[in-house]
Amino acid sequence: MGATSTASPTAFMDQWYVGDGHNDIIVDGVGLLDGVYQIEHVIGPRYGPGSVYVELLDYGCNTIMNSTGLEVSVQGEDYIPGENFSYNITLDSSLISQNVGGFVSFSNQTNSQGSIAFCTRVTAEHDSIAVSFTERTFTLPFDLTKNEFSLNNVEIQPSNSSVSILDIDNPFTVIACQCDDDMNCVQEPVKITQDESLIFCLETSDSNVHISNFEVIIEAGTPGDEDDVYVFHEVVLMGTDGWDEDVLATVITSQDSSNKILIKTLVVAEFFTEGKSSIDITGNAFLEFDESKHAMPFFSQFYLTVPIDGIQVHGGCFQIIFQQMKSLFLTTLLP
């Protein structure tokens, strides 16, 4: 393989993030059982309008329940890109004694005291494909004789942090490597010099699965670090009917196999002028079966590191320009 995988996905992946809930506020009821409680979640910027929703589950977060008509109801607001996603939790005291949804545990013989325990799941989709989700469990002690629950004893816990669907029952992956024009992975990393094309390939781990959409970013450095300036270039973006490459890139699909893709692009000058010694190629891909168009697509990430011949200088812009001119002069005159 002509690449080394990075230790973990970069900040690029946070664009598909679903944050833990926060700002638990009582919208109405002032602590009464029939109040409405609002939860908000930070959502990554890549999701479109109406692509985030909430579900009600049992306390173990295993079984999806009806979102309305039980002692607990949840209702999400329409998601607007760039804003938090919020949903309301409503408790119906008239249904608690009946324990219609099985959420209630009683602590006395008159069934007037106890707790309501349940789970909510917030899921974000792209093109009707679930990408990330997060879950929270709630335990709400109540006392029907006072028509209230104890605010001091409410337990709200995140069941998990933002989880990518690629981590949930996904048997397929995308393999990324530097490759030649025939889509063969090279065995040793190839150092890229300025004005030289970077060629890399993507291949699914199963020949019966192909990439239906994907995105790629090239990056180096650390965001916010003046000593390690962050540089990035969005090479391919996900479109509505497939991928969209930028003007510097070419995407070629294999004529012999539907599960291979070649990407050729120039590495922009800033990676070199900032003295980077390597670049990270990071991306996301949607995978679909070749034969079954009705099977649920999978979401997968890929990333690799490629060495580049960056300009190592410490004398400012003039010295950078001097070295670039010197390199051009030698390239032109020497045989």
d(CA 1, CA 170): 23
Taking the CA of residue 60 as centre, how many other CA atoms within 13 Å lie in the half-sphere pointing to its CB?
Answer: 3
- The predicted pLDDT at position 34 comes to 60
Nearest C-alpha neighbor of 137 from the set 44, 20, 40, 26: 20
Q: How far is CA 142 from CA 34, 68, 98, 104, 107, in A?
A: 11, 20, 14, 10, 10
Nearest C-alpha neighbor of 91 from the set 28, 24, 41: 28
Taking the CA of residue 110 as centre, how many other CA atoms within 13 Å lie in the half-sphere pointing to its CB?
Answer: 5
Supply the pTM of this predicted model: 0.57
Domain locations in the chain?
18-161, 174-312
- The predicted pLDDT at position 280 comes to 95
Best-predicted range by mean pLDDT among 94-103, 203-212, 263-272? 263-272
Nearest C-alpha neighbor of 171 from the set 295, 258, 261: 295
Mean pLDDT of the chain: 78
What confidence category does residue 28 fall into, taking pLDDT thresholds of 50, 70 and 90?
Answer: low
pLDDT tens readout for residues 249-262: 999 998 877 789 99
What confidence category does residue 53 fall into, taking pLDDT thresholds of 50, 70 and 90?
Answer: very high
Is the pLDDT score of 77 beyond 80?
yes
Which tokens in the block code for residue 269?
A: 């000058």
* Mean pLDDT lowest among 52-56, 245-249, 298-302: 298-302
Q: Do domains 18-161 and 174-312 have the same CATH topology?
A: yes
- The predicted pLDDT at position 216 comes to 94
CATH class of 18-161: mainly beta
Q: Is 222 helix (H, G, I), strand (E, B) or coil?
A: coil
Pairing of strands 64-65, 36-41: unpaired
Q: How many Å is the maximal CA-CA distance in the chain?
A: 96
CATH class of 174-312: mainly beta
> What are the residue ranges of helices labelled H in 42-182?
none
Q: Is 59 helix (H, G, I), strand (E, B) or coil?
A: coil
